[in-house]
Each structure stands twice: as C-alpha cells, then as structure tokens.
Amino acid sequence: MLREEFPLLRDNPLVYLDSAATTQKPEGVIDRLKRFYEEENANVHRALYPLGDGATALYEGSRKIVKKFLNAPSSREIVFTSGTTGSLNFLAEVFGETLSRGDHILLTEMEHHSNLVPWQMAAKRHGLILDFIPVNGKGRLDLSWMGRNWSDRTKLVSLTHISNLLGTVNPLEEIIAFAHRRGVPVAVDGAQSVSRIPVDVRELDCDFFVFSGHKVYGPTGIGVLYGKEHLLERLPPRFGGGSMISSVTLEESTWAELPQRFEAGTPPIAQAVGLGEALSWLESRGREKISRHERNLTAYGVDRLRSLEGIELYGTGEEDQLGVISFNLTGLHAHDGVQFLAQGNLALRAGHHCAQPLIRKLGVPSAIRASFAAYSRESDVDRLAEALTETRSFFRKRGVL
C-alpha cells in the first residue's frame, strides 16, 4: 500500500519493519523540504521583507494544519517542540512547577521512558509521588486499580495512547472520563497513534496530547504539544530568549502570548513545514483507510507468527493490538535474532524499546519488535515468517536452540 511513494523503499528489496522507531518519508515531504531550503528559507516572525514574511506564513500555516489534523479548537493550543520527548520533558518541568510536595502523578507500567524519566526527575525536584496503573497478563491496563488506589492528591494522569512495545491501544475515553470526574487533567503520549488512528482531541477531551513528526511520515527534530488553552495559560515558559517575550528590561521580562511564549529562539522552521506536508499527505491518503490497513496487517502478522514453532508473542493478540508485534524466538537472544534477520534484508528492532519496566514485567531481557506503516505489506509479514523459520533452523543446527 502506497509503497511507490517512498523513495527509500521504491525498487528496494528491504523489508522495513521498524516504523515504530521512525517512518520512511514520502516523496512529497522530501521535495517540500528541498524546496523550502532552495527557495523559501528565512527566519520567521518580525521580518519586514517578503522572504521572511513568506517563511512566517509557511511556519504558521503548518501550525494551522496541525490544529485541523487534531481538531484542536485553536492554533494557540499548538506548540512546536523537538519531538515527543521534548514535549513530555517540557510538560513535566513546567507542570511540575505548579504542584506541591506530596502531590501525585499517575502513569502506567507500559510507558516509554520519555513519559517516565521526565516525571521521575520532576518528582525528585518537587517532592512528588508517582503512581502506576499496572499491566495485566493480557497486556492491557488494569483499570480496576484506579478505583481502588486513586489518590485525592493526584494532579495529572499521563499515559501512552498505544504501547510502543505491545501495540496495546489503551481505552483513553474511559480513563479520561474517570480522571475528569475527579477534576484531574490527562496528558496523552500519541507518538505511536497519530499515524495509525484518527485523533480528535476534542472528542477524546484530553488536556494535553504530544507526538513526533518523524513517526508520522515527517521530518526528525519536530514535535507537537497540544494543550487546552486555559491550561497552557497557567504554565510558565521553560526556555528564555528571543521570540517568547513581550517586553524585556534589565530587571525583568514579560511573556508573549500563546503559543510563542513556549517557542524561544529560532524554531525548527523547515521541519514544521515538512510536518505540515506529511500531515496533509496522510490526510489525503485517508487516515481511516491506513488505520484499517495496519489493523488488518497486525492481525495477519499475529496469526502468521502464532503458527510458527518456538515463537513467544507479547501483547493482547486481539483487536486492541495495532501496528506493533513484539516476540522472541525461544532460547535465542533478541539481538542475535535481529542481526541474523538483517542478513536477509529484514529491518527489525531488538532490545528493551525504551520500556525497561514493562520488559522486566514480561520476564525477558529484551524482545524483537516488528512494526508497520502505510507502506507495509502482507508479503513483508510472509517474508518475516519465512526468515524466522530459517533463523530457528540455523541456530538449532549449531546447537544454540
């Protein structure tokens, strides 16, 4: 599906199954970046000449594209960052400053380190307490835990939309409604979801939503923090410098309006333009269509790998698993398996996938991960299944298995 639109994959025998780490880029995005640097490059805001005005219009135009893509109420609620990690670090640092010692932040056991380590750092700085919704044996969150263990001092829930290790699609609507009934905002890590599920922040009613450009067919170095306007207004800026100020004296400064107060210095202009192009591309190709494709491909992959001897699968294996299949070959280290597969031109990832607490809960040191995108094919899954059989045979003959 759509593979011919991706130059790196066109006429390439590579079986690329590492899209959860980064997606390949369609030709239109690559061309858009090239055109910006060749014909439109200038710094943004405050420019009094046509080239600068044009660059500013492109940059702010991309903000409007993101607003529409997420169905956010206002462009003022869209902050450009360096990526999901940058967005979550920003949120942990500045939201943490609004809290008091002994307040709680609720996370889950399946978080990527980007939605764990920043909160650990904030907890140490501000004397906060971290609580965790556990993951059950099926790879789902145990939501009954919230009813039994909710703290009256919980001030924020922050969780992933789709687990980057298990592919579990979390029931955000239920979790958000539970938190909102108790007056608590919810932040969502959408790094793995925006390219796979049509996201409507108004329908979800989440308070913050973050994602990275490079996981949604766009450039690296660009990400998004969406936040409800009344909440962003309460947050202090993280970085000081140009563009984020209203006025500066030697004694003090005042801040610019949203969202500029959170975008100090020269922003990632070309990357923002490229992100806008990527989101427009995704929209034009049909988000629902791509979502169905990935859902069908995930189900097909789970069935194919289940049929193989000596494969241990992780995740629900049902409809709430999307885009990601993690597994191990019994008796073989994940890194050995992936390196052998790479010799057959298959690109997968092995390790703890920046989710060490969840890997430990699974009782393994690491796992192999296959992940899909719009350009992935059933034939890629078939080749993976064949290669896993070859891998097992190779290591069995040498007495490793």
Q: Are 248 and 111 in contact (CB under 8 A)?
A: no
Closest CA to 383 of 284, 300, 292, 322: 300
Q: Mutual orientation of helices 50-70 and 269-285 as an angle, nearest 10°? A: 40
DSSP notation for 129-162 = EEEEEPB-TTSSB-THHHHHH--TTEEEEEEESB
How many residues does the structure list for the chain? 401
Phi and psi at residue 331, to the nearest 5°: 90, 0
Closest CA to 151 of 106, 109, 96: 106
Q: Are 219 and 67 in contact (CB under 8 A)?
A: no
What gap in Å lies between CA 159 and CA 184, rounded to an integer? Answer: 13
CA distances from 282 to 5, 10, 196, 198, 379 (A): 12, 18, 10, 10, 23
Q: Are 275 and 62 in contact (CB under 8 A)?
A: yes
181 Cβ neighbours under 8 A, 6+ residues apart: none
- 354, 359, 374, 384: which one is catalytic? 354
Q: At which residue do the structure tokens 């192999």 appear? A: 368
206 has catalytic annotation: no
Closest CA to 165 of 331, 24, 309, 323: 323
Query: Active-site residue numbers?
Result: 354
